[in-house]
Structure 1
Amino acid sequence: MGSAANADDVGGLQRPFSPALTPRQNTILTHLANWYTNAEALRMATSGNAELLALSSTPNAGKLGVIEAGAFADMLVWDGNPLDDLRMVEDPQRKLSVVIKDGRIFKNTL
């Protein structure tokens, strides 16, 4: 549906992000697969928002939504492929292997 709409869809901007809301937000993300492909849903929640924020806010020192030198370093590494099964995001305690925020490692079970 997202591709057919010929528009840049993003998600999550209307909801505050906090650890307490993570389970609900992950469930909402998996429900997007009813209308979008897993890749489209993930893009809406990640790089799509980064592109929108880069367009609407003060220019940042580094790029958002990419993995490259000089970019802001927020990254999640999952044990599995969410493109195959997006439901894995509903079990971050078991499936989330690495969390990097602002270039600092907060979790690493690899």
Structure 2
Amino acid sequence: MDDADANPQPEGSENRKKQLEMTKGTDNAYALAKKYHIKTVWGTDCLFDAKLATRQGAQLAKLTRWYTPYEILKMATSTNAELLAMSGPRNPYPHPLGVIVEGAYADLLIVDGSPIENIKLVENPEKNFLVIMKNGIVYKNTL
């Protein structure tokens, strides 16, 4: 697998063998989740690494190996919101997430194109995200 974020290990090394085993496990886990209709969510700890944080959209887009763009976008938005809501008093968000309803957090992206048709648009938010709104505050508007 060609993966710029995978930190490839030297061929033939013990760490490389472990890396390949983990990759096979990931393939298997996603295949089983899809087969048995288990909801999956998406998250990353890349925000704690400035270099990797800029690749967050690219990491999301790589899920096309297992999911359709629609499934990926749903996983990263409304299904993640469902999971957080299930955490009860530990849920850090007092208002609904991942939905467009009155009282929900007003988080919105307007993308130059359709990420359902081309998920790679999320790889370059600087170029492709025309409007970024978080909690009702517009942080970017190039319309």
Same fold? TM cut 0.5: yes
Aligned to 1:35: 66
Which runs of no fewer than 5 residues in structure 2 stay unpaired?
1-30
As a proportion of its length, which structure holds more helix? 2
Aligned to 2:129: 96
Question: RMSD across aligned C-alpha pairs, in angstroms?
Answer: 2.0
> Which protein shows a greater Rg?
2
Does residue 79 (structure 1) correspond to residue 109 (structure 2)? The answer is: no
- Mapped to 1, the partners of 2:84 and 2:75 lie a distance apart of 12
- Mapped to 1, the partners of 2:48 and 2:114 lie a distance apart of 24
Aligned to 2:28: none
Which structure would you say has the larger RCO, counting Cα contacts within 8 Å and 6 or more residues apart? 1
Deviation of 1:57 (Å): 3.6
Which runs of no fewer than 5 residues in structure 1 stay unpaired?
none
- TM-score scaled by structure 2? 0.68
2:39 alignment partner, SS class: coil
> How many pairs were matched up?
109
Change in Cα spacing, 1:19 to 1:70, as seen in structure 2 (3 Å) is farther
- Mapped to 2, the partners of 1:74 and 1:18 lie a distance apart of 22
- TM-score scaled by structure 1? 0.86
Does residue 67 (structure 1) correspond to residue 100 (structure 2)? The answer is: yes
